[in-house]
C-alpha cells in the first residue's frame, strides 16, 4: 500500500521571499555582530555621527537584549521559512516584538527618535510586518508545516 501525502506544493514565491528575507536579515545580523565586536570603529565606518555613537554607547543592557531578539529571531524566521516550518511565524512574531521595543526605546528616549528614527526605521518595521503576514498566510494555506 502506498501512503497518500497531504502536503501542499511549495509555491515559487516562498523561495523568493525566503532567500530575500535571509539576505536582508543576515545584514541585520552582520550589523549586530559588528556593533558588538568593533563598536565605535564600526559606527564611524558606517558614517554615524558623534551623537549617534554616544546614543548607541548609552544603550542599557535590556535594550541589547531587545535588539538581539529582533535581529536573531528574524534570521531564524527566514531560515525556518525556507525549511517550510510553521515556527517561522513564531520567530517573526518575536522579531516584530524586538522591532517594536527598539522603536519604543528610540521614541521615548529624549532625542532618540531624532537621532535614530527616520525612513530606515519605517522600512525595517514594514519588512517585519510583511514577513509576519507572509508567514501567517503560508501557515494558513498549509505550506508551512
CA distance 145 to 139: 7
pLDDT tens, residue order, the chain (145 aa): 444 445 578 999 999 999 999 999 999 999 999 999 999 999 999 999 999 999 999 999 999 999 999 999 999 999 999 999 999 999 999 999 999 999 999 999 999 999 988 888 999 999 999 999 999 999 999 999 9
The pTM score is: 0.91
The angle at the Cα of 26, spanning 141 to 30, to the nearest 5 degrees, equals: 160
**Torsion of the alpha carbons at 93, 96, 102 and 106, rounded to the nearest 10:** -140
Domain ranges of the chain: 12-140
Quote helix, strand, coil % in the chain, to nearest 5: 75, 0, 25
Amino acid at each position: 500500500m502506498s501512503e497518500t501525502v497531504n502536503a501542499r506544493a511549495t509555491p515559487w514565491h516562498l523561495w523568493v521571499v525566503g532567500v530575500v528575507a535571509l539576505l536582508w536579515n543576515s545584514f541585520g545580523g552582520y550589523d549586530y555582530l559588528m556593533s558588538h565586536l568593533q563598536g565605535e570603529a564600526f559606527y564611524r565606518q558606517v558614517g554615524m555621527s558623534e551623537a549617534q555613537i554616544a546614543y548607541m554607547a548609552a544603550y542599557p543592557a535590556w535594550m541589547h537584549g531587545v535588539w538581539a531578539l529582533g535581529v536573531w529571531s528574524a534570521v531564524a524566521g527566514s531560515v525556518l521559512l525556507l525549511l517550510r516550518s510553521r515556527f517561522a511565524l513564531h520567530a517573526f512574531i518575536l522579531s516584530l516584538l524586538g522591532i517594536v521595543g527598539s522603536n519604543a526605546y528610540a521614541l521615548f528616549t529624549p532625542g532618540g527618535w531624532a537621532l535614530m528614527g527616520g525612513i530606515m526605521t519605517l522600512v525595517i518595521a514594514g519588512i517585519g510586518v510583511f514577513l509576519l503576514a507572509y508567514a501567517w498566510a503560508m501557515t494558513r494555506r498549509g505550506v508551512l508545516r
